[in-house]
Chain A
Amino acid sequence: MSTVSIEPLLHHHCRRGNSRHRSTPQLIHLSSSLSVFPKKVEFRCRSLCNFRHPTALTLRASSTDTAVAATTAPFFKETFPLELTELVEGKIFVRLDHGKKARNWILTVGCTLPGKWILHWGVSHVDDVGSEWDQPPDEMRPPGSIPIKDYAIETPLKKSASSVGDDTSQEVKIDFHLDGAIAAINFVLKDEETGTWYQYKGRDFKVPLVGYLQEYGNVVGAKKGVGILPGALGKLSNLFFKAESSNSQDKNSSSESRGTKEETRSLEGFYEELPIAKQIAVVNSVTVSVRKCPETAKNLLYLETDLPDHVVVHWGVCKDDAKRWEIPAAPHPPETVVFKDKALRTRLQQKEGANGRWALFTLDEGTAGFLFVFKLSESTWLKCKGNDFYIPLSSANNSPAAAKEDQSEGANVDERSAEEIDESSFTEYTNGIINEIRTLVSGISSEKSRKTKSKEAQESILQEIEKLAAEAYSIFRSTVPTFTEEAISETEELPPSVKITSGTGTGFEILCQGFNWESHKSGRWYMELKDKAAELSSLGFTVIWLPPPTDSVSPEGYMPTDLYNLNCRYGTMDELKETVKAFHKVGIKVLGDVVLNHRCAQYQNSNGVWNIFGGRLNWDDRAVVADDPHFQGRGNKSSGDNFHAAPNIDHSQEFVRKDIKEWLCWLRQEIGYDGWRLDFVRGFWGGYVKYYMDASEPYFAVGEFWDSLSYTYGEMDHNQDAHRQRIIDWINATSGAAGAFDVTTKGILHAALERCEYWRLSDQKGKPPGVVGWWPSRAVTFIENHDTGSTQGHWRFPHDKEIQGYAYILTHPGTPAVFYDHIFSHYKSEIAGLISLRNRNTINCRSIVKITKAERDVYAAIIDEKVAMKIGPGHYEPPNEPKKWSKSLEGRDYKVWEAS
């Protein structure tokens, strides 16, 4: 998928220890996001076909009188709100002051930006290990605090008493007694309006109270204040540390408590500021009024807006309801230019003595309507619900249209506010699973009282229970680090037979990704690929993964629309069939790339939201998950993560599952696909995948479960067990019916090769550290794909080290996947050599790997006691006892031997 960028991968380092403190999907990491946002105004309503914000623009009838001096009463007048986002900058400050009594302190946390700020905080005790929080003692909690589970408190920020003028700063004060038990106060700030969490360098803010350890990277204002911010970040943030105490009272009290001098000194005058930025919705509006000029019988259209800066109106007129743009006859307002013979561009005039801009247009009597959009910059256009603004001019057909708009408008507004409440509370909601239970209990009772116990209801509960069980399972599993390797080895003990299962194929598969991000450009990719079938077969590939075949909004195919329309940028459906046949002929199985998580709609609903589908599967908004406000789905909540660029499909709906099942079976039969590559499977529950796999009986299936690895201080953690566990859990949810791309292994290879840290390639138990170390038969190892590499390069494999990556995955268990770009590159012969070596030695997805060396500059392993390999610049020779090894392949920083 193209939609996950590299950025989150790099900044997720804070999650492992304390991820349970937060659960909103949006996290702003102060240090990074600040430095990249230029201060600018951004309009939220982009006009990508399917990416509409329901909140962007709403028509609103307005009776407000404006400053138009009308000689005749305007027959049309409307004000349209223009919502746009603006980046506002402010700061968060943290201050420690002395309280009234000795050893009493006051921690003040404030924020200068407007908003509904909540301090989400907890304490660490002196003897705590790990990064878990505890709830502060009762006396520390300011009034209005709400406990969040057993480890945190939420306290709303109040308008600060000390604020002057129009300073909007808010703050919260926490009184505490420094008795040595509390080691630190931890917090993050949450903006309830947006549900955004603000952290300190991607971690919790931490205010150390006693002899803190320097190693906490997130200590706010450690002595070496600036020093702890690496490199450029230090420059950018205006963090500083005042060593001197500003207050004589401080000195008194510190001398008073001599025994604690050490700690109080570090607390004294503790004051920190951190810049933050927040996107704020700014609502501007445009008012259009039209009146007849009594003298000329022409229409005078007066347009007024409070948009900032130099706004250009891009406009035209139309003669009928078709709303085709035409250029009206002169005269045009001043500062008007003709744009491409289709429209006019008029710069708005500054209103005298007031804010706002205006323009007056004189329009001939025959014109049916006035069309316009605002242009703010080369790339920013402002439209009305994704369409052009349309002002009907002939008074005859005006009123019904306007009336209609009015009506839908009223409803619209209501809904929006409901939705807003919904959204913000929803964020809170996630904080307390206990609340869920509470809800649940009362839910049961109300359901009970209804006595509607349909079979359907039962089934949905069962599904719910299953999902819950799966979730509980995955948490239990991940908190119990002793992964049940016994269980695995039990299943793995089966001798690699040629039994074919959807998760593994024969077990001897070698996969070729048969396209890159540019493949759609020629328009005849299928045909081009077909010509390579024989060559790919001779290289030793057994499976090829073709690009997504459906009609799609984006040319690469990952934004599917009509699932049954298989004419796309890669070629026609007939060409696809032909290609599949050609591959079958040379003994290569073909995987179809199916996008089951989301689907682009073809029609708008009554709110102008794109969530009505077209084509053979003409679903409506019941097929869309309910928890992405952009698409106003009426389905259930998503069973996974949401992909935000298109409506996410609600697989919990039976009709959806039935349709998808039929579609997959159709693809199998009609096209001849042998299996699937499943796009963005993070988006829905693995149990549904199992259902689809059971129904479509693929020869091989692999899911793309891509999330980020664990990083600490920007450096990748050695232990990526949590990451691979998440992938394993997904595979488990599919009951092993599909394998998954081994993202963990790719990530670890990155770190190992790039930084010459080959020790990373062995986990704490001496096994491969990726998914391949835990569940090799379901791991599809790869080093690059169309998203990570190609022309997107979201997460590119270390340059010039690709062949080491292949030397690893092609000699190791798991099912290796080779990227098209690498096959047809200067690596071709080396890759071919590795593949043939793999086949020669019958290395398969369940082969046994014994790591013989994992040091700084070299990694070596023996696989199935038949193949020895090393990568890295360091020296390694396999022991010549009890086997004799002979070198088979050698290249830059890798060597492979075969037992002779």
Chain B
Amino acid sequence: MEVSVVRSSQVKIGRAELGRRELGFCKLSGNLRTQISFGQNTSWKNGRLQFTLRAVQSESVRPVKASGPSKRSNSNDGLRLFVGLPLDAVSDCNSVKHARAIAVGLVALKLLGVTGVELPVWWGIVEKEAMGKYEWSAYHSLAEMVQKAGLELHVSLCFHASKQPKISLPDWVSCLGESQPGMFFKDRSGQQFKECLSLAVDELPVLNGKTPIQVYHDFCESFKASFSPFLGSTITGVSVSLGPDGELRYPSHHQSVKRSKIPGVGEFQCFDENMLSALKQHAEATGNPLWGLGGPHDAPSYDQSPDSNTFFKDHGGSWESPYGDFFLSWYSNQLISHGDRILSLASSTFGDTEVTVYGKVPLMHSWYKTRSHPSELTSGFYNTSSRDGYEAVADMFATNSCKMILPGLDLSDVHQLHESRSSPESLLSQIRTACKKHGIEISGQNSSISGAPGGFQQIKKNLLGENKIDLFTYQRMGAYFFSPEHFPSFSGFVRSLNQVELQSDDLASDEEATESIHVNSESGIHMQAA
């Protein structure tokens, strides 16, 4: 028998067949803003050849030559679905990681009818070495990949650090932090939180004579300048990090809590020198200097339940006392002012572009069914059974004309541990009500805990319910995302969202491309006849 040496390369010969497939059913939301550009000769030729093959395959149905410039409506009727790229899409040595996997993934998403992707851009990577020294190249190539895939891009400017995968703050910032411990949040026991800067230093010149706000601002400006060709076309949204994990909150929970465990109430984070001095000033100004000597002394610690100390007790807890009100107002106002500073710098930076600015608000849903809502209080939202803490937040977003990202759309009450007195659905609804009142549009996300039970159902319910949310970002691409356990349910979810719009046909068509399809399909037919 003939023995042939099969020496095939380990890299598969691409997914070349993609282009040849029937692609008609995709719902593309009509937001293909980018002109499809055909670059160098080689790639162009390749493109043509693909069509040739495809023409053969599709039994020589000749494509109708489309005419006219791209007609596209940026209608917001449909749901716009985004998928987050891996947190470490750009590795900390500033190169694109998993480039091929992402490229393949982008194609899959595009085929699935996803509108775009979300890309975390890390302060600690771009401005890693020295202040003002930005390195955008890897993010640039990612943006190009996204553009070429015909997808939109939402960029999250992350001024925080990440534990998993490990992405730190810029080296020089960490270095400065060593000598200025006040740069970081501190809890009652003196433990520092080093994954973002304390909001109390926002306007202090702690970074080589510049304030963090200035540094953030410069960063945004550099981003804007560097990505100007993409802004408004490929990049349609930018979100800025407002605190730990990008969310507007205090790092009141140091460890992420396992789902199987009842989360504690968290701790107040007001014990670094700058917070304490601000508190002191505020106390003195309001005529209660003794209240400014420290934070609440009767609050439980991180993992404890509300009842384990007196501050959060449902009845007669200190939170309801005048001191409690004093402290909690101050504590939450600090957070809101911080949010205001960042969002206003972002909206002023991107105000002259067509990019929408977003900020993210957390869904601190544990203990929501208690009267004091301790999780929300420690994280900086003065929201209790008797006070709406989200009005002020929504107002702040409205002032800056920013949209709000809300996570946790996949969480349903029934799947929460009963003991945690949690109610993600009620909290979500409360925040949405506040937003509606202030005319703030919401962009939904799932909680980053992968695969909450019944998640897709819940998301769908939230998106398609009476108060429609028209933008949703699914977190997040990676091995699990594409795994056989997960991906089929995701694609089922997407299809179920899109079913209604199968007929939508508002895509741009590139005349040049179509023309060449036409020409080449001739030869394809010829081949077939031969």
Q: Do A and B bind each other?
A: yes
- Residues on B with C-beta less than 8 A from A434 are 43, 103, 144-145, 148
Q: Name the residue on A nearest B52 (C-beta).
A: A422
Which residues of the partner chain B approach A435 to less than 8 Å between Cβ atoms? 43, 46-47
B63 contacts which of A449, A467, A480 (Cβ < 8 Å)?
A449
The proximity string for A residues 402-419 relative to B, scoring 1 for CB distances below 8 Å and 0 otherwise, is: 000000000110110011
Shortest C-beta distance, A32 to chain B (Å), equals 12
Q: Tell whether B9 is near chain A: CB-to-CB under 8 Å.
A: yes
Closest residue of chain A to B21, judged by CB?
Answer: A464
B105 x A8 contact (CB < 8 A): no
CB pair A438–B482 under 8 Å, yes or no, is no
Q: Which of B15, B39, B64, B526 contacts A414 (CB 8 A)?
A: B526
| Given A20-B11, A451-B24, A479-B97, A425 contacting B1 (CB threshold 8 A) | no
Shortest beta-carbon distance from B85 to chain A in Å:
12
Shortest beta-carbon distance, A380 to chain B, in Å? Answer: 14
Report if A707 contacts B (CB, 8 A): yes
**Which of A448, A453, A462 meets B491, CB within 8 Å?**
A462
- The interface on chain A, measured as residues whose beta carbon lies within 8 A of the other chain's beta carbons, has a size of 106
Chain A residues near B10 (CB-CB < 8 A): 12, 15, 19, 707, 726
Taking CB atoms, residues of chain B closer than 8 Å to A422 are: 49, 52-53
Q: How far is the CB of A422 from chain B (nearest CB, A)?
A: 6
B407 located at the interface, meaning its Cβ lies under 8 Å from any Cβ of chain A in the complex: no
Report the minimal beta-carbon distance from B27 to chain A, rounded to whole angstroms: 11
Rounded to whole angstroms, the CA-CA distance of A414 and B530 in the bound complex is 8
User: Cβ of A46 and Cβ of B2 under 8 Å apart?
Assistant: yes
- Judge whether B100 and A465 touch: CB under 8 Å: no
The CA-CA distance from A144 to B52 in the complex, in Å, is: 26
Interface assignment of A500: CB less than 8 Å from any CB of chain B: no
Does any Cβ of B come within 8 Å of A150's Cβ?
Answer: yes
* A-binding segment of B107-115, B249-257, B288-296, B366-374: B107-115
**Bound Cα distance from A319 to B351, whole angstroms:** 91
| Interface: B483 (CB within 8 A) | yes
Q: Which residue from B3, B5, B148 sits with its C-beta under 8 Å from A438? A: B148
- The reply to whether the CB of A421 lies closer than 8 angstroms to some CB of chain B is yes
Q: Is the CB of A637 within 8 A of B16?
A: yes
List the A residue with the shortest CB-CB distance to B54: A443
Question: Is B4 close to A, CB under 8 A?
Answer: yes
Which B residues lie within 8 Å of A428 (CB)?
42, 45-46
In the bound complex, how far is the Cα of B57 from the Cα of A449, in angstroms?
A: 18
A469–B108 contact, CB under 8 A?
Answer: yes
Judge if A442 is at the interface, Cβ distance under 8 Å: yes
Cβ 8 A contact of B108, one of A12, A444, A468 = A468
Contact A453 B106 (CB under 8 A): no
Closest residue of chain A to B524 (Cβ to Cβ) is A418
A655 to chain B, nearest CB (A): 15
A437 and B150 within 8 A (CB): yes
For residue A441, CB closer than 8 A to chain B, the reply is yes
Interface range for B: 35 or more
Whether B13 pairs with A447 at a CB distance below 8 angstroms is no
Residues of chain A contacted by B21 (CB below 8 angstroms): 443, 457, 460-461, 464
- Residues of chain A within 8 A (CB-CB) of B509 are 442, 445-446, 448-449
Q: Which of B3, B32, B47 contacts A3 (CB 8 A)?
A: B3
Which A residues are CB-close (under 8 A) to B105? 468-469, 472
Which of B263-271, B336-344, B510-518 makes up part of the contact surface? B510-518
Q: Does A636 contact B (CB under 8 A)?
A: yes
Pair A3/B9 contact, Cβ less than 8 Å: no
**Chain A residues whose C-beta falls within 8 Å of the C-beta of B111 in the assembled complex:** 440, 461, 464-465, 468
Give the chain A neighbours of B148 by CB distance below 8 A: 434, 437-438, 441
CB distance from A349 to the nearest CB of B (A): 34
Out of B24, B479, B483, which one reaches A458, CB within 8 Å?
A: B24
B464 at the interface (CB under 8 A from A): no
Chain A residues 553-610 with CB under 8 Å of chain B are 553-556, 558-559, 606-607
Confirm or deny: A473 has a beta carbon within 8 angstroms of a beta carbon on chain B.
yes
The answer to the question of B377 belonging to the interface, with a C-beta cut-off of 8 Å to chain A, is: no
Contacts of B528 in A (CB 8 A): 634
In angstroms, Cα B6 to Cα A27, docked, is 11
Q: Does A430 contact B (CB under 8 A)?
A: yes
A530 within 8 A of B: no
Residues of the A chain whose Cβ atoms lie less than 8 Å from the Cβ of B25: 453, 457-458, 461
Contact in complex: A433, B529 (CB < 8 Å)? no
B507 interfacial by beta-carbon distance below 8 Å: yes
Complex interface: stretch among A207-215, A228-236, A640-648: A640-648
Tell which of A469, A559, A606, A643 touches B482, judged by Cβ atoms closer than 8 Å.
Answer: A469
- Nearest Cβ in chain A — how far from B521, in angstroms? 10
Cα(A425)–Cα(B47), bound, Å: 10
Indicate whether A25 sits within 8 Å of B104 (C-beta atoms), given known contacts A438-B47, A479-B97.
no
Query: Given the complex of chains A and B, what is the CA–CA distance between A559 and B15 in angstroms?
Result: 28
Chain B residue with minimal CB distance to A448? B507
The answer to whether B5 touches A441 (Cβ under 8 A) is: no
Contact with B along A422-434 (1 / 0, CB 8 A): 1001101111111
B505 within 8 A of A: yes
A445 near B514 with CB under 8 A, answer: yes
Q: How far is the CA of A12 from the CA of B17 in the complex (A)?
A: 27
Which residues of chain A in 474-495 are interfacial with respect to chain B, using CB atoms and an 8 Å cutoff? 475-477, 479-480, 484
How far is the CB of A517 from the nearest CB of chain B, in Å?
A: 10
Q: How far is the CA of A530 from the CA of B49 in the complex (A)?
A: 54
Main secondary structure of the interface of A (DSSP, over half): helix
Partner of A472, one of B9, B482, B514: B482
In the bound complex, CA of A733 to CA of B150 (Å): 28
- The reply to whether the CB of A2 lies closer than 8 angstroms to some CB of chain B is yes
A522 within 8 A of B: no
Question: Which listed residue, B11, B28, B503, B527, touches A22 by the CB 8 Å rule?
Answer: B11
In the assembled complex, the CB of B75 is this many whole angstroms from the nearest CB of chain A, namely: 16
A461-B2 CB under 8 A given contacts A433-B104, A443-B50, A450-B63: no
Is the CB of B51 closer than 8 A to any CB of chain A? yes
**Which of B49, B98, B110 sits near A429, CB closer than 8 Å?**
B49
Is the C-beta of A626 less than 8 angstroms from some C-beta in chain B?
yes
Which residues of the partner chain A approach B47 to less than 8 Å between Cβ atoms?
Answer: 435, 438-439, 442
Closest-by-CB residue of B relative to A434 is B148
Find out whether the CB atom of B15 lies under 8 angstroms from the CB atom of A439: no
In the bound complex, residues from chain A placing their C-beta under 8 Å from that of B505 are 448, 451
User: A297 in the interface, Cβ–Cβ < 8 Å?
Assistant: no
Name, among A19, A479, A733, A735, the residue most crowded by chain B CB atoms within 10 Å (CB to CB).
A479
How far does the alpha carbon of A32 sit from the alpha carbon of B422 in the complex, in Å?
68
The answer to whether B24 touches A453 (Cβ under 8 A) is yes
Contacts of B96 in A (CB 8 A): 150
**Beta-carbon contact of A2 and B3 below 8 Å:** yes
Beyond A12-B10, A446-B517, A453-B502, 17 extra complex contacts between A and B, CB < 8 Å? A2-B1, A4-B5, A7-B5, A8-B5, A24-B9, A146-B42, A428-B46, A435-B46, A441-B110, A441-B149, A443-B51, A444-B26, A453-B24, A457-B24, A466-B487, A641-B12, A642-B6
Please name the 9 residue pairs, one residue from A and one from B, whose CB atoms are nearest each other, closest first.
A457-B22, A439-B19, A554-B1, A475-B101, A473-B482, A468-B108, A442-B513, A411-B530, A476-B479
Supply 30 A–B pairs (Cβ within 8 Å), ascending by A. Answer: A3-B3, A7-B5, A27-B9, A415-B527, A419-B527, A428-B45, A433-B100, A434-B148, A437-B149, A439-B18, A439-B47, A440-B19, A440-B107, A440-B150, A441-B32, A443-B18, A443-B54, A444-B150, A445-B66, A445-B513, A448-B507, A450-B24, A453-B503, A465-B108, A472-B104, A472-B108, A479-B97, A641-B6, A641-B12, A644-B6
Mark A residues whose CB is within 8 Å of B: 2-5, 7-8, 12, 15, 19-20, 22-27, 46, 48, 51, 132, 146, 149-150, 154, 411-412, 414-415, 418-419, 421-422, 425-426, 428-454, 456-458, 460-462, 464-473, 475-477, 479-480, 484, 553-556, 558-559, 606-607, 626-627, 634, 636-637, 641-645, 707, 726, 732-733, 735
B residues whose Cβ falls under 8 Å from a Cβ of A: 1-26, 28, 32, 36, 38-43, 45-47, 49-54, 56-57, 61, 63-64, 66, 86, 95-108, 110-112, 141, 144-145, 148-150, 477-479, 482-484, 487-488, 491, 502-503, 505, 507-510, 513-514, 517, 523, 526-530
